[in-house]
Amino acid sequence: MEGYETNLINAHAGGRNVVYNCEKEGASAKILRIAFLNDRSRDDLLGEVEYIQYLFEHGGSVSNVISSRKGNLLEEITHNNHTFFVCLFEKARGKMLVENHYQYREGVPITEYYYNCGKVLGKLHQLSKGYAAVHRRYSFFDKYNVEYIDNLIPGTLPLVKEKMVELLKTLEGLDRNRESFGMVHFDYNDGNYSIDFDTGQITVYDFDNSCYCWYMFDLAGLWTHGVGWIQFEPDAGKRKKFMDNYFETVLEGYKSETRIENSILDKLPLFIQVTVMEGIVDAFEVMRNNGEEPECDEELSYLIKCLEDDIPYKGFFHEVFSCEEPFECEERNI
């Protein structure tokens, strides 16, 4: 990295790494990532970077990991009895949608973006179906299980725990065959990919949460992030029509790269509930990792209400939703 100018990238809420942007004239920009929390082992991180390298080498549109001078994808440094894991990535071409003020390519319909989101994800899932891990990442149920939820979620939220356990039981009954279950990104959204605004090409990164799960989870995540385009529309019927058209375009892109059975697509409402559960779990993990007392803000209270009251589609077509304050409701005490 000699000659590179290195600048710290501001961490987002709940960020788990220290990340630097590295630039040098005449060379492609790099991203340096340092993992410092003790919640991930060397094998966990190797499982992530080996998967990224596999995707890249087989044509997946991802930011590739770069080997160190010793030929390692991951370097381990111990300082003052603390272990740091360091890896380097090619910086993705283009920029995030938010950096472009949520404006897509000039003169190009936004449907191209929806289609490409599905297409890029479909390619990653198709590659995952043939992936044989050296260092295996954890599986969904290794983290999302009754014991973990019971320890993480405060005892003052017994109905939330009950609903999560019901959800897990339903998931345990689903098929886990090669066509429906494998390595997924688990956080596929516009904060974790860049767009080349000259071509529309999407490059994916941040596989920090990648694990073995149903491919449908990533698709449900794409559905939930699509609501941002129409969330200020007061008419629920118009929101529904938009989301149907949006997701149909996403699926066209997705199916251009991989197969998916209608029987699993029919489980979209179930997996949207799983994304709601994941959002609640993530919120409490961030509070725990930051040493904060558990509390429910408006956004977390909204997710909890959707889960407790069995409100489908993240409440987007339900009276609980307000277009003035999207995905928020009155704070609740814990």
The domain segmentation of the chain, as residue ranges, is 5-90, 98-315
First vs last Cα of the chain: how many Å apart? Answer: 48
Q: What is the pLDDT of residue 14?
A: 65
Helix, strand, or coil here: 21?
A: strand
Q: What is the pLDDT of residue 83?
A: 93
Residues 119-143 have pLDDT tens digits of 999 999 999 999 999 999 999 999 9
Helix, strand, or coil here: 49?
A: helix
CATH topology assigned to domain 98-315: Aminoglycoside 3'-phosphotransferase; Chain: A, domain 2 (3.90.1200)
Q: What is the pLDDT of residue 129?
A: 98
Cα distance between residue 309 and residue 53, in whole Å: 42
Alpha helices in the chain (DSSP H): 42-57, 111-128, 140-143, 146-152, 158-172, 215-226, 236-255, 262-265, 268-289, 298-308
Residue 167 parent element (H or E): helix 158-172
Under-70 pLDDT residues of the chain: 13-14
CATH topology assigned to domain 5-90: Phosphorylase Kinase; domain 1 (3.30.200)
Cα distance between residue 325 and residue 110, in whole Å: 25
Q: What is the pLDDT of residue 61?
A: 98
Q: Is the pTM of this model over 0.85?
A: yes
Cα distance between residue 318 and residue 303, in whole Å: 13
Q: What is the pLDDT of residue 13?
A: 67
Q: What is the pLDDT of residue 11?
A: 80
Tokens of 1: 């990295």
| Nearest in space to 91 (alpha carbons), one of 28, 160, 20, 167 | 28
